[in-house]
């Protein structure tokens, strides 16, 4: 996790935002009569700092700088989230919730700052689709694993070995932690992209990411899916469904089924 410097600037002028945008500021927060601009600490060199200060002084705007250490910003939500029951077969809960009876699978997720608790439609649909698939002894690839919830469910559905990768360091660490909490030992976790990770062939590929990443990954995922394998895609808004499914069909996949929930779609494909 990165350390940030925040500039609290006594102005909400759009011109100041525009002029700051040429520096490595990642984002801005607008309040009623001031703004806060955020820049990664390692990008705030002495030269950049002097230029920013010079610019703000020219506009006669007062400001203060603070260092913001990395922390789990999701802690408040995490401390009070409700368990999720997916199709009456799987519960996802935090370690402080009581175990629920009468469900097939009980998964504990302490999400911190990774994605995937089953609350979101995209994860829910993936888990629902996995229930209808045969995973026994299948090699599984969880592409963009987040909390690792899908990899953990795959393991509980008796899959073979699972490779789980994510580009975010927080997700990599969170998947390892959650796999340990759930006593799952057949997940190999890596902080990697599709391009940097080993090329292997899998029976099942799970990818809950976003439209652009999915569009760019079609050919690579085709190479990694076994001839009789199944690919599940999620993280797709309903307005992007045709674009994504056409891209995958052009890459050689066949459309099997489309799941819908809220504004989201989940697409099941085969070779």
Partner 1 sequence: MAKEIEGFVKLQVKGGQANPSPPVGPALGAKGLNIMEFCKRFNAKTQEKQGQIVPVVITVYKDKSFDFVIKTTPAAIQLMEVAKLKKGSPESNRVKVGSVTWDQVKTIAESKMEDLNAFKIESAMKMVAGTARSMGLTMSGTPPWGASEESED
Q: Which residues bind partner 1 (CB under 8 A)?
A: 1-2, 4, 6, 14-15, 17-19, 21-22, 26-31, 36, 38, 51, 54-55, 58, 68, 73-77, 80-81, 111, 113-117, 119-120, 122, 146, 168, 170, 210-212, 235-237, 240
Smallest gap from Cβ 21 to partner 1, in A, equals 5
Smallest gap from Cβ 133 to partner 1, in A, equals 23
Q: Which of 170, 68, 47 is nearest to 114 (CA)?
A: 170
In the bound state with partner 1, the residue whose beta carbon lies nearer, of 166 and 203, is 166
- Separation between Cα atoms, residue 124 and residue 68, nearest integer Å: 34
In this structure, are strands 162-166 and 187-191 parallel, antiparallel, or unpaired? Answer: parallel
Smallest gap from Cβ 235 to partner 1, in A, equals 7
Tokens describing residue 209: 């990411």
- Separation between Cα atoms, residue 235 and residue 216, nearest integer Å: 14
- Alpha carbon separation from 105 to 19, 20, 77 (Å, rounded): 53, 50, 24
Q: How many CB atoms lie within 10 A of CB 226?
A: 15
In the bound state with partner 1, the residue whose beta carbon lies nearer, of 111 and 148, is 111
In the bound state with partner 1, the residue whose beta carbon lies nearer, of 121 and 163, is 121
Smallest gap from Cβ 30 to partner 1, in A, equals 4
Smallest gap from Cβ 38 to partner 1, in A, equals 5
In the bound state with partner 1, the residue whose beta carbon lies nearer, of 6 and 270, is 6
Tokens describing residue 193: 């992209």
In the bound state with partner 1, the residue whose beta carbon lies nearer, of 86 and 225, is 86
Q: Which of 264, 271, 167, 151 is nearest to 211 (CA)?
A: 264
Q: How far is CA 114 from the centre of its chain?
A: 6
């Amino acid at each position: 996790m990165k350390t940030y410097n925040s500039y609290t600037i006594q102005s909400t002028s759009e011109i100041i935002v525009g002029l700051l945008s040429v520096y490595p500021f990642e984002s801005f927060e607008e309040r009623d009569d001031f703004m806060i601009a955020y820049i990664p600490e390692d990008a705030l060199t002495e030269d950049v700092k002097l230029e920013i200060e010079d610019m703000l002084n020219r506009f006669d705007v007062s400001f203060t700088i603070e260092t913001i250490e990395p922390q789990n910003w999701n802690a408040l939500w995490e401390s009070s989230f409700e368990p999720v029951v997916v199709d009456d077969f799987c519960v996802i809960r935090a370690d402080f919730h009581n175990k629920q009876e009468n469900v097939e699978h009980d998964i504990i997720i302490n999400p911190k700052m990774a994605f995937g608790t089953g609350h979101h439609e995209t994860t829910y649909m993936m888990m629902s689709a996995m229930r209808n698939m045969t995973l026994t002894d299948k090699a599984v690839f969880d592409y963009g694993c987040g909390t690792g919830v899908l990899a953990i469910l795959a393991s509980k559905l008796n899959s073979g070995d699972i490779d789980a990768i994510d580009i975010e360091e927080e997700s990599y660490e969170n998947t390892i932690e959650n796999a340990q909490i759930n006593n799952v030992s057949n997940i190999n976790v890596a902080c990697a992209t599709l391009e940097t990770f080993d090329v292997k062939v899998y029976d099942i590929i799970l990818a809950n990411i976003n439209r652009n990443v999915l569009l760019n990954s079609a050919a690579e995922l085709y190479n990694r899916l076994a001839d009789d394998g199944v690919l599940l895609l999620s993280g797709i808004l309903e307005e992007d469904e045709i674009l994504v499914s056409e891209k995958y069909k052009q890459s050689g996949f066949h459309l099997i089924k489309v799941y819908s929930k809220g504004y989201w779609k989940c697409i099941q494909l085969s070779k």
